[in-house]
Amino acid sequence: MPRHYAIVPAAGSGARFGAEMPKQYLPLAGKPLIYHTLSALCRCERIDRVWVVLSPDDVWWRTHDWAPLGSKLETLFCGGETRAESVINGLAVAETAVAADDWVLVHDAARPCLSQVMLAALCDALADDPVGGLLAVPVADTLKRADAAQRAVATEPRDGLWQAQTPQMFRYGLLLQALTGHRGVTDEAGAIEAAGLKPRLVRGDTSNLKVTYPADLCLAELILQGKKR
Ligand code: C5P
């Protein structure tokens, strides 16, 4: 039976958020944001190990206590210039532990509200899939095409459009090969598509939001509080 592993690229600076520290360390419900992200993965019984990929210059990690997350968690200070590079570097370190057909779940550090139900749904849906896939939600809003003056010039059809989330789950060998060959992508599924394959879209939930702007942090806090009740 193939095993499941997780890689969390967390070497970004969070420039769009505009905070003094990388957004993954911002306080959220009494812990650093990334604590909740890692906790969701470490609690999942199917996942054997969780690698978090940090920047070699990271000075924040060691200022927090991660021991309560348990022994599944391993820290790698090998983040790259881009998200794809960070994932490739993490996969390279994981090589000694992982077989080519084992599953790797790549999950954004900045998605702290991932539920066990969504994780299980992803793993179940892809268990026998020849390609792999990702959590995603159909686009709900009407989409506008803007000109340079920020005026709407067209309404784009949203049929068949989905918003990609994470985790994105692919077999180790395929993922490493695809990412190495297509480094300009913004997510793992993009590399798989560029390799000519079609990742499966597993319907997720909008609560699995990515914290990008300050308002997202308030929303994430409400979602986490709601889960506790
Ligand atoms: O910037 P964005 O929110 O799209 O980043 C997605 C994820 O990729 C974040 O968890 C971020 O820390 C990570 N990342 C990384 N290495 C980079 C850039 C982003 O691990 N060089």
Percent of the chain exceeding pLDDT 70 equals 100
Q: What angle do CA 173, 177, 179 make, to 5 degrees?
A: 120
Q: For 169-219, what is each residue's pLDDT tens digit?
A: 999 999 999 999 999 999 999 999 999 999 999 999 999 999 999 899 999
- Whose CA is closest to 42, among 75, 2, 6, 94? 6
Q: Report residue 137 as tokens.
A: 């939600």
Task: Report residues whose beta carbon is within 6 angstroms of any ligand 1 atom.
Answer: 9-12, 24, 53, 79-83, 86, 108-110, 210, 212
pLDDT band at 163 (very low <50, low <70, confident <90, very high): very high
Q: Report residue 68 as tokens.
A: 């309560």
User: What is the bridge-based pairing of β-strands 162-171 and 133-138?
Assistant: antiparallel
Domains with residue ranges and CATH for the chain: 4-228 (3.90.550.10)
Q: Which residue has the tokens 């993922």?
A: 175
Q: What is the pLDDT of residue 31?
A: 96
- Rounded mean pLDDT, 132-137: 98
User: What is the bridge-based pairing of β-strands 31-32 and 27-28?
Assistant: antiparallel
Mean pLDDT, the chain, whole residue set: 95
- Which H helix or E strand runs over 162? strand 162-171
Q: Confirm if 146 and 153 have CB atoms less than 8 A apart.
A: yes
- Rounded mean pLDDT, 33-54: 98
Q: Confirm if 78 and 53 have CB atoms less than 8 A apart.
A: yes
- Ligand 1 atom having least distance to the Cα of 211: 3
Q: For 109-118, what is each residue's pLDDT tens digit?
A: 999 999 999 9
Distance CA 165, CA 172 (A): 19
- Whose CA is closest to 224, among 37, 8, 14, 9? 37
Q: What is the pLDDT of residue 228?
A: 75
139 CA distance to ligand 1 middle (Å): 22
- Rounded mean pLDDT, 128-148: 97
Distance CA 2, CA 129 (A): 12
Q: What is the pLDDT of residue 74?
A: 98
pLDDT band at 15 (very low <50, low <70, confident <90, very high): confident
Q: Which of 34, 53, 83 to mutate to test the pocket of ligand 1 (most atoms within 8 A of CB)?
A: 83
Cα distances from 163 to residues 116, 140, 199, 202, in angstroms, run 20, 9, 13, 11
13 CA distance to ligand 1 middle (Å): 7
Q: Which residue has the tokens 């989905």?
A: 162
